[in-house]
Amino acid sequence: MLLGADNSVEARPVTTGAMQGARWQITEGLKAGDKVIVSSLGAIQPGAKVVPREHGAPAPDTPANPSQAQ
């Protein structure tokens, strides 16, 4: 799944190559600048609007430092 220009989910078929460790090598179907969705794949469908964030970044309503949560 990819993030479209209007923050909507887009499905696109890809061709995989060999695995490198725990990751698949994608040989066809992606181009430079594509934003790949890497989490919550079971909860989204093509056409859904999403709020993007960098992989590993806290969710918008999650404090950056949990010790600062009140």
pLDDT tens-place string over residues 21-51? 988 899 999 999 999 988 888 888 999 998 8
Average pLDDT over all residues of the chain: 83
Q: How many Cα atoms are found within 13 Å in the side-chain-facing hemisphere of 25? A: 6
Reported in sequence order, the residue ranges of the chain that DSSP labels E, i.e. its strands, are: 2-3, 9-10, 15-20, 23-28
The C-alpha atoms of residue 51 and residue 30 are separated, in whole angstroms, by 21
pLDDT at residue 10 greater than cutoff 80: yes
Q: What is the CATH number of domain 1-53?
A: 2.40.420.20
For the record, the structure tokens of 49 come out as 């609007």
Who has greater pLDDT, 5 or 64? 5
Q: Where are the domains of the chain?
A: 1-53
At 5 the pLDDT is 84
For the chain, give the percent of residues with pLDDT over 70. Answer: 81
- Say if residue 15 is exposed, middle or buried (CB neighbours under 10 Å; 0-12, 13-18, 19+): exposed
